Structure 1
Amino acid sequence: MGGKYRIKGDKYPRMRRPRRRGRLAFGVVASVAALSLAGWGTLQLIDVFTGGDKASAAGPETDCATKKATASPSSSAAALPKPGQITVNVLNATARGGLAKTTADELKKRGFRIGDVGNATATYDKKVKGVGILLGPSSALKTSLPVLGTQLASAETRTDTRKGAEVDLIIGTAFKNLTAKAAADKALAALTSPQPTATASTKPSC
């Protein structure tokens, strides 16, 4: 051969193929991608078999969401009876006639069940100076009596040793009328449907 490939003496030219750097770079990139994919797959498998880690990591947010979703009125509010479940004896302790009947009729219109209607016993007759007394068994102190109390603001609440669930509304000297129906309905709604409240001061902030 002639030119630069001409053989001179005992030295021979090295005929090498040109390096293909493109294939080498592609191979490196492919290897890195394969390793990354394998690592990602391994992490996914670890998450599957140790799912508790994610739950614990998201714990505070989950607790907040759960507490907000389950916030509800107190059990005592939920146990309050409706007016139709309360039997009221309306008793007049004043010298004015007809108060027991007119008051009983109005309470009936507002949904209460009416029991005895008449004059108060000697224990209370002419001895109730305020607007009235709400009287019932101790079991009614946080149930029937508060509900009835929405109908006569400022009435005094008392309990006795009676048996049964009936309650008394004893009309006093200062009585004029029952609480206006609109105001009584608003008070009853607030009593039976209070706003939910936070339960624990140590809960995580949301």
Structure 2
Amino acid sequence: MGGQYRITGDKYPRMRPPRRRGRLVVVGIASVAVLGVVGWGTLQLIDVFTGGGRKAAASAKAGCATKASPSASATPRVVPKPAQITVNVFNATPRAGLAKQTADELKKRGFRIGEVGNASKEFDKKVAGAGVLLGPTSSLNTSLPVLATQLGTAERRTDAARKGDTVDLVIGTGFKQLTAKAEADKALAGLTTPDPASSKTKSGC
């Protein structure tokens, strides 16, 4: 070509379409939006599965905590019978013959009677209440509760140094009489009834 359209020099213009920046921006925004939706959906699925598991576990735990154990409710508490308990009766009051009178009544109610007489100096005229029930440590939940059904207001004490299974009834100045037999029999029967609280147990859930 010549004239005014003549090309000179060693560089030529490159023939290419203009850049489409607008399309690239739209594609980038769309990609970010898609990634956001996918991430949000993944989080929702994780929450559904983990949250459901926690609720199921909590429900199962609550059910186990209040489940009753039939075997526990059917097991009575074991205590000795009056005929298996030997009771020493001592009088710590100024009233004569009170120890023998009380011992005779206990014998009628099925207890075995050991020594009968006046209390030692440790207790003589020093027991202000109805009486003191004294026995070895092993008698705390066995013999003493059974004897206590006959004199519910008596104080219970144990002596770790004491041997054997004999228990003492030391009559105090506040003593009037033993608990009425009907009431004592009812209390005695109650000792063999299992504690309702112990019938509810946690199972191995």
Question: Under a length normalisation based on structure 2, what TM-score does the superposition of the two structures give?
Answer: 0.62
Tell me the alpha carbon deviations over residues 140-182 of structure 1, each in whole angstroms, 9 at most, x when there is no partner: 0110000000000110000112111100000000000000000
State the match for 2:131 in structure 1. Answer: 132
State the match for 2:115 in structure 1. Answer: 116
1: distance between equivalents of 2:71 and 2:203? 18
Question: Under a length normalisation based on structure 1, what TM-score does the superposition of the two structures give?
Answer: 0.62
**Which structure's relative contact order is higher, taking Cα pairs within 8 Å and 6+ residues apart?**
2
Task: Name which of structure 1's ranges 152-161 and 188-197 shifts more when overlaid on structure 2.
Answer: 188-197
Count of residues in Structure 1 that have an aligned counterpart in Structure 2: 138
Tell me if the contact between 1:91 and 1:100 (Cα under 8 Å) persists in the aligned partners: yes
Tell me the alpha carbon deviations over residues 43-100 of structure 1, each in whole angstroms, 9 at most, x when there is no partner: xxxxxxxxxxxxxxxxx9xxx89x42563235xx22x100000000000000000100
2: distance between equivalents of 1:166 and 1:117? 13
Change in 2 beyond 3 A, CA 1:182/1:201:
same
Q: Give ranges in structure 2 of 5+ residues lacking alignment.
A: 1-62
State the match for 1:152 in structure 2. Answer: 151
Change in 2 beyond 3 A, CA 1:123/1:105:
same
SS across alignment from 2:199: coil
State the match for 1:199 in structure 2. Answer: 200
State the match for 2:176 in structure 1. Answer: 176
2: distance between equivalents of 1:94 and 1:69? 48
State the match for 1:83 in structure 2. Answer: 82
Change in 2 beyond 3 A, CA 1:125/1:192:
same
Q: What is the Cα-based RMSD across aligned positions, in Å?
A: 2.2
Tell me if the contact between 2:135 and 2:165 (Cα under 8 Å) persists in the aligned partners: yes
Amino acid at match of 1:136: G
1: distance between equivalents of 2:141 and 2:191? 11
Amino acid at match of 2:200: T
Q: Give ranges in structure 1 of 5+ residues lacking alignment.
A: 1-59
Deviation at 1:198, TM superposition (A): 2.6
State the match for 1:71 in structure 2. Answer: 73
